[in-house]
Amino acid sequence: DAGITQSPRHKVTETGTPVTLRCHQTENHRYMYWYRQDPGHGLRLIHYSYGVKDTDKGEVSDGYSVSRSKTEDFLLTLESATSSQTSVYFCAIRPDRGPYEKLFFGSGTQLSVL
């Protein structure tokens, strides 16, 4: 599973509050990704990172920011959460070596914005 840990696993918050989700990996791979999953939309890419301080936007980046100050951590922040951001959030990594064609996913964070 490439040592991926997402935290928290579940979170309930109120509209307008800031929320930060954390993705932690133990193997120092460069590429990390944040996805959201909603019924009828599949998995959509929010942001990705290809190294420390190197990030780029995905398909649905509006309302989200990310930071990567250490190789092992990729943070996803909702500056002011909205109900439309209620979703399941998955982090993924792509190994730098070995099976670099594969994505390995975390267990997900269920976020509810009330």
Partner 1 sequence: DAKTTQPPSMDCAEGRAANLPCNHSTISGNEYVYWYRQIHSQGPQYIIHGLKNNETNEMASLIITEDRKSSTLILPHATLRDTAVYYCIVSPRGGYQKVTFGTGTKLQVIP
The residue ranges that bind partner 1 (CB under 8 A) are 31, 33, 35, 40-45, 48, 50, 56, 58-59, 88, 90, 92, 94, 99-108
Give which of 74, 63, 58 is closest to 25, Cα–Cα: 74
Taking the least distance from each CB to partner 1, the nearer of 14 and 59 is 59
Min. distance of Cβ 107 from partner 1 in angstroms? Answer: 6
Cβ atoms of 45 and 57 closer than 8 Å = no
Min. distance of Cβ 16 from partner 1 in angstroms? Answer: 27
Min. distance of Cβ 37 from partner 1 in angstroms? Answer: 8
Give which of 72, 74, 25 is closest to 49, Cα–Cα: 74
Query: Pairing mode, if any, of strands 10-13 and 109-113?
Result: parallel
